[in-house]
Structure 1
């Protein structure tokens, strides 16, 4: 087995807007129930890039909110230290004030005074001390008021963060459950098709309006590479004849390049498969699909959705088996990774 190379998989935690996508009408041909589930899964993936961006934006907002809350906590710590210093200063001023006679009424101070001039000077000092005490008290109260406001703001920040995180987690659980259910139903129908040896019908997927400027693309947008060309395994009679792209069931599968569909079949070791002939004389095969979106003889453009990935046929788990051949038949495969690289596609 080749060591796997990770690419970011589509985040199944889309957004709550996607929960209602199943209610959208399906634009498909053939058996309605079968094609409805295919269209439902396809539409979830159709909106995946937008929804993933929105989910990521929400996560970044939550992180920014966390940063603001942490800065507020640091500010509160500084304010608490400043208030502690103010209280110490206030204590010193009050103690000095009483030592200077600030605790006695002015009449009593006159009666006990031995030096009237000294009393006047002392009284002047007391008034200054009174002002200092009043100023310190006011400053302390203002600081305590700011502290209370900042503490309330910090609590609000953390509460908003926790609420947002809870909402995102709930959305994630809802979408994952809906996708799991839809994928399971899609694969069950694919297995029935393979067992019967005939395809149920072409699914006309509502493809996003994307035009590729390149002549060639990877057969799936996001993936994890698994079994590579030439690797051994108990599931292959000789050596592995293609490159496997590990993706969830229902992932849109794209035509690697423009060409004509020369085979659509739904039986055997490859399960549901599509083979495309390209103008340069090479053929590409897409196998273990859950559904097909093209007809035999149809012309396709680069990046056009030709089906949905699955795990039909001789497959150990959800993935796309991709081959490059010099003929449309088995036994003529070449290593697709350097072939794609030669066409400007690095996987």
Structure 2
């Protein structure tokens, strides 16, 4: 619908007044209880845990490759050792054959007992050739055994070093996760206190990611699992679910899906701590059940900019982001957010 023409100076004043009425009670920035340090710490621990997890997974895969190589070399070494044992057996059989054919008699006696000198020479030549071939094979196998022994020891050493490194990374990861869990609990406690008081603790100025998403529209979270969808039924909703839920840990940065202006920051009621952004084209997006807010009312935001941190404030059974797309800033005007994002090139799955 085409908007009505208004006086150019009257429009900003009316928008500001409506935004203030919609926002409800909000504490001023710089409040003494501002959780900025804690919020930043949670984000830092998220990033640190993620980086350590990636290093651990890379090390684990590398260790598996080295272990497989060491086991393969061990099998080749065992096979080479069996070959050497078999060749030694062949040498023993050749020696016994020489003995049975007179190999232990003096050369003159062998000439006297042989049917002919040619027969004697042929028999001895065959035995000598077999003896030489087996000796050569044994020498080659010994060299192969030495190489395999060195390679197997080297691979086993690399594997063991990786295992020790992975054990240290696993210990670091566990320590980070424990600190993160404690910080998340404190952050959510502050959020619950804000909701109970019906007043926000103030805007948390998180260190924003470097711009460069390159897309006009993005998903509201970088990593997540989908839970309750738009229009689904449930005893916690008066009729039908009005948005899309994203299951995510407390403190995960929540992104504005597109550029726009913040028209509401509220810290009370069933949605707990929430932010509403108006986008070009007249649509609004809501980010609810937050643990903190990172933008102020009336502030312009870019696609991908952090507007807050996920939590479980308000009418919530667990940590998640409740995301809505609305035709107005108010509850009850929602449209299917998944379809709306898909129309803008954002696949959420």
Q: When the two structures are superposed, what TM-score results if normalisation uses the length of structure 2? A: 0.79
Hey, what does 1:88 align to over in structure 2? 89
State the secondary structure of the residue aligned to 1:263: strand
State the secondary structure of the residue aligned to 1:78: helix
Change in Cα spacing, 1:85 to 1:264, as seen in structure 2 (3 Å) is: same
Query: How far is the alpha carbon of 1:313 from its aligned partner?
Result: 0.7
Q: How large is the Cα RMSD of the aligned pairs?
A: 3.1
User: In the alignment, does 2:226 pair up with 1:262?
Assistant: no
Distance 1:172 1:46 in 2: 11
State the secondary structure of the residue aligned to 2:35: helix
Change in Cα spacing, 1:62 to 1:155, as seen in structure 2 (3 Å) is: closer
8 A contact 1:43–1:206 mirrored in 2: no
- What do the CA deviations read for 1:61-109 (whole angstroms, capped 9, x no partner)? 23332342243234224323422332232222222233345556x5xx6
8 A contact 2:276–2:287 mirrored in 1: yes
Change in Cα spacing, 1:265 to 1:33, as seen in structure 2 (3 Å) is: closer
8 A contact 2:66–2:156 mirrored in 1: no
Change in Cα spacing, 1:71 to 1:130, as seen in structure 2 (3 Å) is: closer
Query: How far is the alpha carbon of 1:346 from its aligned partner?
Result: 1.8
Hey, what does 2:316 align to over in structure 1? 315
Distance 1:277 1:186 in 2: 27
Hey, what does 2:249 align to over in structure 1? 248
Distance 1:150 1:251 in 2: 46
Query: How far is the alpha carbon of 1:210 from its aligned partner?
Result: 2.9
Distance 2:320 2:139 in 1: 71
Distance 2:95 2:135 in 1: 10
Change in Cα spacing, 1:46 to 1:300, as seen in structure 2 (3 Å) is: farther
Hey, what does 1:340 align to over in structure 2? 341
Distance 2:187 2:36 in 1: 9
Can you give the 5+ residue segments of structure 1 that lack an aligned partner in the other structure? 1-27
Change in Cα spacing, 1:285 to 1:36, as seen in structure 2 (3 Å) is: same
Hey, what does 1:179 align to over in structure 2? 180
Paired residues in the alignment total: 317
- What do the CA deviations read for 1:154-180 (whole angstroms, capped 9, x no partner)? 532442353344234323322222221
Distance 2:144 2:283 in 1: 77
- What do the CA deviations read for 1:175-199 (whole angstroms, capped 9, x no partner)? 2222212211211111111112111
8 A contact 1:255–1:306 mirrored in 2: yes
Hey, what does 1:8 align to over in structure 2? none
State the secondary structure of the residue aligned to 1:260: strand
* Paired residues for 1:96-107 under 5 Å: 96-103=97-104
Hey, what does 1:62 align to over in structure 2? 63
Change in Cα spacing, 1:190 to 1:120, as seen in structure 2 (3 Å) is: same
Q: When the two structures are superposed, what TM-score results if normalisation uses the length of structure 1? A: 0.79
Hey, what does 2:206 align to over in structure 1? 205
State the secondary structure of the residue aligned to 1:193: helix
State the secondary structure of the residue aligned to 1:244: strand
8 A contact 1:93–1:133 mirrored in 2: no
Change in Cα spacing, 1:124 to 1:68, as seen in structure 2 (3 Å) is: closer
8 A contact 1:276–1:285 mirrored in 2: yes
Can you give the 5+ residue segments of structure 2 that lack an aligned partner in the other structure? 1-28
8 A contact 1:271–1:289 mirrored in 2: yes
8 A contact 1:97–1:130 mirrored in 2: no
8 A contact 1:94–1:133 mirrored in 2: no
Change in Cα spacing, 1:103 to 1:38, as seen in structure 2 (3 Å) is: farther
